[in-house]
Amino acid sequence: MERMIKVNFRGLETKEFPSGTTLLEISKSFKHHFTFPIVIGKVNNDVTELCEEIRRSCDVDFYDRSHPTGNSIYGRSLQFLLVVAVKHLFGNKVELMIEHSIDKGFYCEIVGADINKNDVANIYDEMRKITDEDLVYTKLSVSRLEAIEFFRKRGQIDKAKVLRYISNTYINLYRLDNVYDYFYGEMAYSTGAIDEYRLTYIRDNGFVVSFPDVYGPHGTLDYVHHEMLFNAFLEYTNWGRSLGICNAAELNEVVTTGKYNDLIRVSEAYYNRQLASIADDVYDLKDRLKIILIAGPSSSGKTTTSKKLEIYLRSKGLHTHPISIDDYFINRRDMVKDENGEYDFESIKAVDIELFNQHLLKLMDGERVLLPEFNFATGEREYKKKWLQLGENDIIIIEGLHALNEDLTMSIERKNKYKIYISPLTQLNIDNHNRIHTSDTRRLRRIVRDNKFRGYNASDTLSMWKKIREGEEKWIFPYQDDADFIVNSALVYELGVLKTYAEPLLFSVTEDDPNYAEALRLINFLRNFLPIPSDGVPQDSILREFIGGGCFNE
């Protein structure tokens, strides 16, 4: 008699299947719970590909592209689909470079051939064919040394090099229609599940692949080009190429030579040069500029940037006065709670905008103003003789979630404000086909900072991340195009340093923790980097805001 196993789905229902049934077959019994095609499963809290055979009774769950885990795997599977389509059309004479995230997708370039809009349309058509054929992504466990030799023979030196620095004896390769590639995360079962995407030609052999995200999983939105953000990425990418550091392997090569301190200094100089440029802009406009506004997503380094910018401005004879938006929170008793019955401090409605603008106008007119301080313990604004009056060369610096939103400073003319958007826009990739998500850099920064300064463990931070991202999507990203300057706070060496701090914290997340799968993904991501000691990181580095030991840390 065939042995049966019991499979419990989310604690909602239990069904029996023959031992050895694939997770794909099991998922079909529960697909009515999902709006979109299932791309990955979870067996006893372990992310598991649908091709795996299940031989013991277990708890299972599944994810489609509307879930962060499922969306990540959807995007990775889409990247491999793109790689194969380009191979079909151009063969081995070109190299596809998957560069970085932008808008609701990722930016790519074709190296080795000039392409135009028609070529991009042809790539899209080829991708649709592969999707319609419902080809299977096949996982192969192979010797790491054999994989290195395989990629070296095919001229894929980026992959051969990155595998050199991974200590595993065996690694996973994936095959799709006889194209083999290395990816550091799981894949969907087949291309039929990757059914929503668009391609948009940009310029100079570059195009963007857009796909649904967790905030809009039903369809792919039209690509919105963010020129300043795009140029910030492009400038940093070109700078990285000039250093000869475009991927993890090239960074690791610097570490193995022991010359990482030189790289630290060069990287810090790049960041500081941006602040010097802003200071020059502000000085040139000092006759009409009175307010600098700084905003960016979580763990972008806003605090350090704000404090360092003050130093640059003071060196030019300008006097700076920071004002905290938090001090203008509405008294808690007057706040409207969100749908969960909690106070929503991230909403702009939590700020007393009328009072804030009254004070800004009075300061602009040269009046003396008594500024409030918000007491988070009592939930009340207090006034403690904190007076401010602006002189001729005085400038207000406002740093916070809503700083770029015109509603916050509606009474002040745009010409009197200088807006700065900050984010770590990394140009570094794992290899030509494995990009590094900007949000992963920020997530690692926050895990380290939350543990060092706030007493949170890695699981605590990972639990908060969904709400953090929702706030960013609502209150920050829609206003980035109104910035006068984009500060790229990425440091080309930082993942090597963050590895030494974040990796032990991630290993503390236990197998039964809801955040275990995400912690394991980040651990596997960090395995691509050699550790870099933090001794050479300057005290005024933006990285010190997260790892500690900085001169601006309170």
pLDDT of residue 166: 87
Handedness of CA 325, 462, 99, 428 (dihedral sign): positive
Distance CA 186, CA 76 (A): 8
Mean pLDDT of 20-42: 95
Q: Are 95 and 157 contacting, i.e. CB atoms less than 8 angstroms apart?
A: no
CA dihedral defined by 418, 419, 425, 427, rounded to 10 degrees? -30
Does the pLDDT value for residue 327 go beyond 80?
yes
Residues in the chain: 554
Distance CA 340, CA 355 (A): 28
Distance CA 510, CA 521 (A): 13
pLDDT of residue 398: 95
pLDDT of residue 1: 63
Mean pLDDT, rounded, of the chain: 93
**What residues does 174 pair with on adjacent strands?**
139, 181
Q: What is the CATH number of domain 69-224?
A: 3.30.980.10
pLDDT of residue 552: 82
Mean pLDDT of 56-72: 95
Q: Are 382 and 289 contacting, i.e. CB atoms less than 8 angstroms apart?
A: no
Q: What is the CATH number of domain 4-64?
A: 3.10.20.30
Q: Under 8 Å CB-to-CB from 328, ≥6 apart: which residues?
A: 351, 352, 353, 355, 356, 372, 374, 381
Closest by CA to 274, choosing from 483, 489, 479, 418, is 489
Percent of the chain with pLDDT over 90: 81
Alpha carbon separation from 509 to 25, 114, 425, 527 (Å, rounded) = 30, 47, 28, 17
Q: pLDDT digit string (tens) for 461-476? A: 999 999 899 889 999 9
CATH level 2 (architecture), domain 228-547: 3-Layer(aba) Sandwich (3.40)
Mean pLDDT of 213-239: 91
For residue 499, what is the enclosing H or E element?
helix 494-507
Mean pLDDT of 496-508: 97
Closest by CA to 509, choosing from 498, 520, 501, is 520
Ordered DSSP codes for 344-370: -TTSGGGB-HHHHHHHHHHHHTT--EE
The tokens describing 355, both together, are: 């009072």
Mean pLDDT of 112-118: 91
Does the pLDDT value for residue 339 go beyond 80?
no
Q: Are 425 and 438 contacting, i.e. CB atoms less than 8 angstroms apart?
A: yes
**Residue spans of beta strands (DSSP E) within 308-467:** 319-324, 369-370, 373-375, 380-382, 387-388, 394-399, 417-423, 429-431, 434-435
Domain locations in the chain as residue ranges: 4-64, 69-224, 228-547
Alpha carbon separation from 370 to 119, 294, 403 (Å, rounded) = 62, 23, 21
Q: pLDDT digit string (tens) for 349-405? A: 889 999 999 999 999 999 999 999 999 889 999 999 899 999 889 999 999 889 999
Give the chain's end-to-end CA distance (angstroms, integer). Answer: 68
Does the pLDDT value for residue 37 go beyond 80?
yes
Taking the CB of residue 90, how many other CB atoms lie within 10 A of it? 18
For residue 451, what is the enclosing H or E element?
helix 438-454
Q: Are 547 and 448 contacting, i.e. CB atoms less than 8 angstroms apart?
A: yes
Does the pLDDT value for residue 235 go beyond 70?
yes
Mean pLDDT of 281-291: 92
